[in-house]
Amino acid sequence: MEIKPGLHRIECPIGERYVAIYAVVGSESTLLVDTGFDDSIRTTVVNYFKSNKLSLDKVRYVINTHSDYDHTGGNKAVRELMPNALICAGERDRAMIENLNSMFYDRYNEFEKDHGFPESEAAKDFMMSVAFETNVDIGFSGNERIDLGGRYVEILHTPGHSWGHLSVLDEQTKAIIIGDAVLGNSVLLANGDAAFPPTYRFVEAYRSTIRLLKGYQPSEILTSHYPRYQGQAAIDFLDLSLNYTDLIESICLEVITAAKKPIGMMELIELTHERMGPWVDPAYKYLAYPVLGHLEVLESYKKIKSSKSDSGLIQYQLVK
Ligand SMILES: [Zn+2]
């Protein structure tokens, strides 16, 4: 739907969830934020453009907010269907966006070697069936300003969920399209129920991102997997997200303090997931993203230290 003049939110189904793709329409060119799955572009976006009399030829900039395949899977379809489009992404996410294999092994399977939590081959097969890669034309680092024909957008570097994560500020409406830059206390299903944990990974960057977005005093925050958060609801969503990071960090430290011996990350998650959110097996295991992030923070501040267990996994204990 056109939520503000020339600002469109297009919800594309991805299983039980949706990914919202956004279009910002200027007099000269159109900017698209995220590409969903292959089918999101080929079916949902193409149909939406048709019924709203928008031109695929005018799409000049296609921003991937970050290196997740539900945000980049339609890149190849963009290449085929939008002949004037330049595909743009955060430079630090470029390698994974251009190579789904690297996205899988470096991002989704990051926890196998040191923490004993592998991502399944079935998950990889699924990714390869819905997402298709192509090269990224322009790598952004943040603070770029794009003229769409009398309408400007600003690119913001908003790391935390990934290192290269980008958000897009629409100057005309003061809305900020944030992708997955901020994730509340749960990622949601389409019906609003909790799907899986907020998978932020780089904690201090994530906290800075939340504060940065708050500083812009956005008219609204437009996410990929949540309803619109307008006015005070946007501030509340940002505050809730920041408070959640403090909660998870304090639970991690508390459990390591109470443990009689060094404890592994997945063991810690088994002990604490009911206090961190409502998810059931196997969704709660994706607490690996934020929990590892918090363990790294606690270790960098020398509150805890890590060592290798006999089985070769990393374990954590208090610094006394
Ligand atoms: Zn996402």
Ligand 1 midpoint to CA 131 (Å): 13
Ligand 1 midpoint to CA 67 (Å): 9
Ligand 1 midpoint to CA 245 (Å): 19
Coarse DSSP helix, strand, coil percentages of the chain, rounded to the nearest 5 percent: 40, 25, 35
Ligand 1 midpoint to CA 141 (Å): 20
Q: How many residues does the chain have?
A: 320
Q: Which CATH superfamily is domain 2-241 in?
A: Ribonuclease Z/Hydroxyacylglutathione hydrolase-like (3.60.15.10)
What confidence tier does 24 reach under pLDDT thresholds 50, 70, 90? very high
Query: How does the average pLDDT of the chain come out, rounded?
Result: 97
pLDDT on residue 320: 86
pLDDT on residue 297: 98
Ligand 1 midpoint to CA 312 (Å): 32
Ligand 1 midpoint to CA 262 (Å): 33
Q: Is the pTM of this model over 0.95?
A: yes
Ligand 1 midpoint to CA 128 (Å): 16
Ligand 1 midpoint to CA 66 (Å): 9
Q: Which residues contact 126 (CB under 8 A, 6 or more apart)?
A: none
Q: Any idea which fold 245-318 has?
A: Arc Repressor Mutant, subunit A (1.10.10)
Are 162 and 201 a contacting pair, CB within 8 Å? Answer: yes
Ligand 1 midpoint to CA 225 (Å): 7
CB neighbour class for 276 (10 Å; exposed up to 12, middle 13-18, buried from 19)? buried
Question: Other C-beta atoms within 10 Å of 67: how many?
Answer: 27
**Which amino acid is located at 151 in the chain?**
R
Element holding 48 (H helix, E strand): helix 46-51
pLDDT on residue 188: 94
SS3 62: strand
Ligand 1 midpoint to CA 308 (Å): 33
Ligand 1 midpoint to CA 316 (Å): 30
- Domain range summary for the chain, segments of one domain joined by +: 2-241, 245-318
Ligand 1 midpoint to CA 70 (Å): 6
* pLDDT tens string 232-273: 999 999 999 999 999 999 999 999 999 999 999 999 999 999
The residue-averaged pLDDT of 203-210 equals 98
Ligand 1 midpoint to CA 20 (Å): 9
The residue-averaged pLDDT of 70-93 equals 98
What confidence tier does 155 reach under pLDDT thresholds 50, 70, 90? very high
